[in-house]
Amino acid sequence: MTAKITVENLYKVFGPHPEEGMQLIEQGLGKDEIFEKTGNTVGVQDASFSIEAGEIFVVMGLSGSGKSTIVRMLNRLIEATAGRVLIDDRDVNSMTRDELIDLRRRDMSMVFQSFALMPHKSVLDNAAFGLEVTGVEQAERESRALKALDQVGLKANAKSFPDELSGGMQQRVGLARALAVDPSIMLMDEAFSALDPLIRTEMQDELVALQREQRRTIVFISHDLDEAMRIGDRIAIMEGGTVVQVGTPEEIVAQPANDYVRSFFYGVDVTRVFNAADIADRRQVTVLERPGVSVRAALERLHANNRELGVVLDPDQHYLGTVTAETLAAQMQTESAPSYASAYVSDLNPLPAEMPLDEVVTRSSQTAYPLPVVDEHGHYLGSISRTAVLKTLDRSGDQ
């Protein structure tokens, strides 16, 4: 993975004399002091992160946390006061006007919270706007715009006008407008925030689906943690102009950097955030790697580790079954040659890694044994005990 966008020590000071504000920041003064002394507002302070090609990177924070400012500094709708924004290793802030216009036309497009469609243009012409500005001739831009409308399911409405469409459909036009120029980067500023919850989820799923078809680098601004968790490959959390934490959704929920980050989880349903692989633990059970070992030796190992049960894997780490001290002992009693295979606990099917936690909860309530988790190739990832499930649920209950 290579960094598509790199943000290095980015600052934005709004107000009458930004340089003055910058100097005070360098002297180590806080936001409030700077505002009191100079009337300058620090919008973004020392933001650094990098966004990899093809990922959905969500910048999350409450209003006023500087997230909209950051996204606008990526395409220089807002000029940074200090710091660098590198896109494909080119410094955006030092580009000439023509280079900047070229970058905006070719490499990045934007989707807006209030849709920002042109009311005097038809849906088709709106979708073709970016191409029109670039100077693509009419026949080609219309066919490309139509293709983009088709991707968002609005081909039939091409001749309508924006005010004839519902909010969700208008934002699809906004999305089509951004897709039509076929950019490598899409900036989405609270793109779904103005939509009602049902439509919002639908659009989120659609964005993820579009992303599966063709991977673009998406920078998504949101104030909604559920949304961030749903679509984000990684999330940056902003507070008062600073980036307080960057990580995958799981990392952020599991290890919130501070109380501010933690406060986002009020009301967040962790069962949708975590999947089976996230809470599977390899340490909970003894792993019996070679089925070739005798049943007696296996039983010895369980006793030695003071465990009741073990997981049997083949040399390639594929999950074969779960045995308990009890089933192994029972095998020792039988007349025929004792075997692992007959000692496996029955009805204990491994869970797929991506099974959401809410389903894991249901499954774990149906059995007394820890549930094994495997990846798509059948490799063993760990087991989930009932206690582990309860602990995870409990963590969300705390908040």
Partner 1 sequence: MATNIRDLIQIPIGDWVETGVDWIRTNLQGPLDGFADGVGFLADGLESLLLFLPDWVLGPLIIAFAWWRVGWRFGAFALLAMFLIAAMGLWRETMQTFALVIGASIIALAAGLPLGIAMARRDGVAMVIRPVLDFMQTMPPFVYLIPAAIFFGLGKVPGTIATVIFAMPPAVRLTNLGIRQVSQENVEAGLAFGCTTRQLLYKVQIPLAMPSIMAGINQTIMLALSMVVIASMIGAGGLGNTVLTGIQRLDVGLGFEGGLGVVFLAILLDRMTQSFGFRRRKD
- Residue 185 Cα distances to 61, 147, 188, 264, 301, angstroms: 21, 19, 10, 27, 54
What single DSSP character describes residue 345? P
Per CB under 8 A, the segment of 113-121, 139-147, 227-235, 300-308 that binds partner 1 is 113-121
Q: Interface residues for partner 1 in 37-76 (CB under 8 A)?
A: 72, 75
Compare residues 109 and 275 and give the one whose CB is closer to partner 1.
Answer: 109
Per CB under 8 A, the segment of 52-60, 105-113, 278-286, 361-369 that binds partner 1 is 105-113
Compare residues 109 and 204 and give the one whose CB is closer to partner 1.
Answer: 109
Q: Out of 28, 119, 315, 397, name the contact with partner 1 by CB under 8 A.
A: 119
Compare residues 115 and 192 and give the one whose CB is closer to partner 1.
Answer: 115
User: Is residue 12 a contact point for partner 1 (CB under 8 A)?
Assistant: no
Question: What's the CA gap between 207 and 178, in Å, rounded?
Answer: 12
- Residue 57 Cα distances to 25, 217, 229, 285, angstroms: 28, 8, 11, 36
User: Is residue 102 a contact point for partner 1 (CB under 8 A)?
Assistant: yes
- Tell me whether strands 82-87 and 185-189 are parallel, antiparallel or unpaired: unpaired
Q: In this structure, are residues 247 and 84 in contact, taking their beta carbons and an 8 Å threshold?
A: no
C-alpha 200: how far from chain center = 16
Shortest distance (Å) from residue 8 CB to partner 1? 22
Question: Which are the contacts of 375, defined by CB distance < 8 A and separation ≥ 6?
Answer: 277, 352, 353, 381
User: Is residue 232 a contact point for partner 1 (CB under 8 A)?
Assistant: no
Compare residues 101 and 330 and give the one whose CB is closer to partner 1.
Answer: 101
User: Is residue 234 a contact point for partner 1 (CB under 8 A)?
Assistant: no
Question: Which token pair is 172?
Answer: 């699809």
Question: What's the CA gap between 152 and 135, in Å, rounded?
Answer: 24
Q: Out of 113, 184, 201, 242, name the contact with partner 1 by CB under 8 A.
A: 113
Question: What's the CA gap between 230 and 202, in Å, rounded?
Answer: 11
User: Is residue 16 a contact point for partner 1 (CB under 8 A)?
Assistant: no
Lookup result for tokens 């309860």:
390
Q: Out of 56, 152, 154, 187, name the contact with partner 1 by CB under 8 A.
A: 187
Question: Which token pair is 367?
Answer: 């059995």
Q: Out of 177, 200, 216, 230, name the contact with partner 1 by CB under 8 A.
A: 177
Q: In this structure, are residues 16 and 5 in contact, taking their beta carbons and an 8 Å threshold?
A: no
Shortest distance (Å) from residue 85 CB to partner 1? 15
Q: In this structure, are residues 238 and 60 in contact, taking their beta carbons and an 8 Å threshold?
A: yes
Q: Interface residues for partner 1 in 126-165 (CB under 8 A)?
A: 129-130, 132-134, 159, 161
Compare residues 181 and 246 and give the one whose CB is closer to partner 1.
Answer: 181
Per CB under 8 A, the segment of 8-16, 97-105, 221-229, 234-242 that binds partner 1 is 97-105
Amino acid making up residue 317:
Q
Q: Out of 101, 208, 330, 332, name the contact with partner 1 by CB under 8 A.
A: 101
User: In which order are the strands placed within the sheet that holds 319-324?
Assistant: 286-288, 309-313, 319-324
Per CB under 8 A, the segment of 118-126, 236-244, 298-306, 314-322 that binds partner 1 is 118-126
Amino acid making up residue 49:
F
Amino acid making up residue 29:
L
Question: What's the CA gap between 248 and 227, in Å, rounded?
Answer: 13
User: Is residue 99 a contact point for partner 1 (CB under 8 A)?
Assistant: no
Q: Out of 58, 108, 127, 176, name the contact with partner 1 by CB under 8 A.
A: 108
Shortest distance (Å) from residue 77 CB to partner 1? 5
Question: Which are the contacts of 207, defined by CB distance < 8 A and separation ≥ 6?
Answer: 56, 175, 218, 231
Compare residues 142 and 278 and give the one whose CB is closer to partner 1.
Answer: 142
Half-sphere exposure of 163 (CA within 13 A, CB side): 4
User: Is residue 104 a contact point for partner 1 (CB under 8 A)?
Assistant: yes
Instruction: Determine the size of the site formed for partner 1 (CB under 8 A).
Output: 30
Binding region for partner 1 (CB under 8 A): 72, 75, 77, 101-102, 104-105, 108-110, 112-121, 129-130, 132-134, 159, 161, 177, 181, 187
